[in-house]
Amino acid sequence: MPNYQYKNKDTGETKVIWMSVDEMWDKTEGEGLEIEGVFWDRDIAGEHTGTPSGGVGWPLASEAAGTHPDEVPKAMAEMRSKGVNLNYTKDGRAIFENASQRRKALRALGMQDMNGYD
């Protein structure tokens, strides 16, 4: 299911909403979307920029490669012993700074990205 990005003209705030193409056309007629009485314009350019609000951007926080918050120090030490300088958020998500670090970290964790380029 695709995501669509909408921008508030007054505040500049953006929202990313997941919905089917049919839902998008039914709710917006291709122009914009009303949320709680506020009209949001569709930001097609923003949907294709690769920014964190609409697509993949760096740094990227990963729940799948994360750990329990109590285990963060142990996981960081283990990753550093494997040669990967990987940090974690307070809630235990792995923080990938760039694609190269992500690739190294996934290898060290024994994980594989089925949609990746490795």
pLDDT in tens, 77-89: 999 999 999 999 9
CA distance 31 to 58: 29
Instruction: For the full predicted model, state whether its pTM sits above 0.85.
Output: no
pLDDT band at 72 (very low <50, low <70, confident <90, very high): very high
Helix (H) or strand (E) holding 75: helix 72-81
Which of 25-29, 37-41, 70-74, 99-103 has maximum average pLDDT?
70-74
Q: What is the pLDDT of residue 16?
A: 85
Amino acid letter for position 39:
F
Distance CA 96, CA 3 (A): 22
Helix (H) or strand (E) holding 43: none
Across the beta sheet with 32-35, the strand order is 14-18, 3-7, 38-42, 32-35
How does the average pLDDT of the chain come out, rounded? 84
Give pLDDT, residue 50.
55
Q: 23-62 burial, b for 16+ CB within 10 Å, e for fewer?
A: ebeeebeeebbeeeeeebebbeebbeeeeebbeeeeebbb
